[in-house]
Structure 1
Amino acid sequence: MQQAIAILDSGVGGLTVVKEVMRQLPQEKIIYFGDTARSPYGPRSADEVRAFTSQIVDYLIQFNPKMIVIACNTATAVAIEDIRAKVTIPVLGVISPGARAAIKSTRNGVVGVIGTDGTIRSHAYDQALTSISPGIQVFSEACPLLAPFVEKGLFDAEEVDAIVEKSLRSLVGKPMDCLILGCTHYPFLSHAISRVMGPEVTLISSADETAREASTILYHRGDLAKNGQIPVHQFFCSGDPELFKRIAQTWLKDQISIAPVVWQVPNI
């Protein structure tokens, strides 16, 4: 049986990482868990996020994955080291890849970061950025309204621009030349965010760099899929399965049109 890459998130945001992993590694089987019943993680305590993340990993381990990707910035910020100590397979987060992508992109050394309350409160991006480039200037802003909006499937709604504008008001006009979307839900809103921030600000999603890192690690471990078969992906959610399926099919339509998907509601 083909070993999968297990990807987890607080909800639907991790689908942005799934899409990029599918694009870069089309032969790899993916098992995805979106904790939509308990989303968002941003306002929750670090202890709660650690407990939820550990519970999901316990569930996913039964499928014998070859890698775990924590496609949630909040969970990456507070739980990744606990998960790495818990399992024997590689565990990737999305914060370090996002920071590296921003360092590559910035020309003036001024970077913005938006994320959930939990991610911004952890200062994980500030630490990741300054560990690579100590002189970098970082402007951070928590945007608690955005992820719940995406979870409701409203990323194309008329009120998106107003909510994004309200959330980013303090960052508009700052001298940054790139903005890290420090929550995997935010690429769903990238057009509105770009309209608010202006064309001179490059938006940075960690998805591309995370998928590239996953590919590199699997290559060096000799674990890349080699059979040439079309994988059968598995998607789990803890909340409303029909809403989750609709959002996933909308976001992944090109990828899952060529690979069969099994939709399941886990007992967790």
Structure 2
Amino acid sequence: MQQAIAVLDSGVGGLTVVKEVMRQLPQEKVIYFGDTARSPYGPRSAGEVRKFTRQIVDYLVQFNPKMIVIACNTATAVAIDDIRERVSIPVLGVISPGARAAIKHTKSGIIGVIGTDGTIRSKAYEQALRLISPQIQVYSQPCPLLAPFVEQGMFDPTRSLEVVEQSLRPLAGKPMDCLILGCTHYPFLTEAISSVMGPDVTLISSADETAREISTILYHQNLLASSGFLPIHQFFCSGEPERFKKIAEGWLKEQISITPVVWQVPTII
């Protein structure tokens, strides 16, 4: 039985990572969990996000994955160390790969970061960037409207542009040459974000770099799938399965089946 890469997110955003894994590692099986019933994670407390992340990981380990990818920036920021202590397999987040990609691309040393309230509040990107390059200048901006907008699955270009313009207004005129999309939902809005930021700002999605790091880790630990496998991916979500399926199939360009997982949904506090 082929061991899978388990990927989790607060909703559909982690599908941007899944798409890159499928492209770069086509023989690898993916098991994906989108916590759509409790999305977004950004407004929630760090304790809640850690609790939810543990619950999802505890659910996913029944499938005996060979790696866990926390494809949610908010969960990566507050829960990755906790999860690494709970499991014996590699656990990868999306913040360090995104930071490395931005450092690689910047010429000016001035980088913008957009993300959920939780991600920006954690300062995880600023810390990751300055760990690599202490002189980096960072402009961070929370964009609480964007992830819920993506979760609705309504990508009308005019409305997308309006929401993105409203969210990015505080960054107007800042002299950055890179903008980190610090939420895996944001690549769904790449066209609108690029239009607002202009051609001189390179958009950095952690998905591409994360998939490369997955490949590197699996290679060095001799965990890459054997050639000849045709993987059958599995998708789980905790709410709105039909909407999830529609968004996932539109993004991944293939038909998928969804298994709903029902658990209690607490109020955002």
TM-score (norm 2): 0.96
- Given that residues 165 and 196 in structure 2 are in contact (C-alpha distance below 8 angstroms), is that contact kept between their aligned partners in structure 1? yes
Secondary structure at 1:51's aligned position in 2? helix
Q: Does 1:168 align with 2:163?
A: no
- Alpha-carbon distance, 1:267 to partner: 4.2
- Given that residues 239 and 261 in structure 2 are in contact (C-alpha distance below 8 angstroms), is that contact kept between their aligned partners in structure 1? no
**Residue of structure 2 equivalent to 1:29:** 29
- Given that residues 236 and 264 in structure 1 are in contact (C-alpha distance below 8 angstroms), is that contact kept between their aligned partners in structure 2? yes
Q: How many positions carry a matched residue from both structures?
A: 263
Q: Point out the more displaced range, 166-175 or 61-70.
A: 166-175
Cα-to-partner distance string for 1:65-118 (whole Å, 9 max, x where unaligned)? 000000000000000000000000000000000000000000000000000000
**Residue of structure 1 equivalent to 2:61:** 61
Secondary structure at 2:88's aligned position in 1? coil
- Give the alignment partner of residue 266 of structure 1, picking from 245, 261, 265: 261
Amino acid at match of 1:266: V
- Given that residues 232 and 262 in structure 1 are in contact (C-alpha distance below 8 angstroms), is that contact kept between their aligned partners in structure 2? no
- Alpha-carbon distance, 1:21 to partner: 0.5
Aligned residues: CA RMSD? 0.9
Distance in 2 (CA, whole Å) between partners of 1:154 and 1:104 is 33
Matches within 5 A, 1:1-268: 1-253=1-253, 256=254, 261-268=256-263
Unaligned 5+ segments in structure 1 are none
Amino acid at match of 1:231: P
Cα-to-partner distance string for 1:150-196 (whole Å, 9 max, x where unaligned)? 00002335311111001000111110000000000000001000000
Cα-to-partner distance string for 1:32-69 (whole Å, 9 max, x where unaligned)? 00000000000000000000000000000000000000
Secondary structure at 2:257's aligned position in 1? strand
Unaligned 5+ segments in structure 2 are 264-269
Q: Point out the more displaced range, 57-66 or 157-166.
A: 157-166
TM-score (norm 1): 0.97
- Given that residues 238 and 266 in structure 1 are in contact (C-alpha distance below 8 angstroms), is that contact kept between their aligned partners in structure 2? yes
- Given that residues 165 and 196 in structure 1 are in contact (C-alpha distance below 8 angstroms), is that contact kept between their aligned partners in structure 2? yes
Identity value in percent:
76
Amino acid at match of 2:230: I
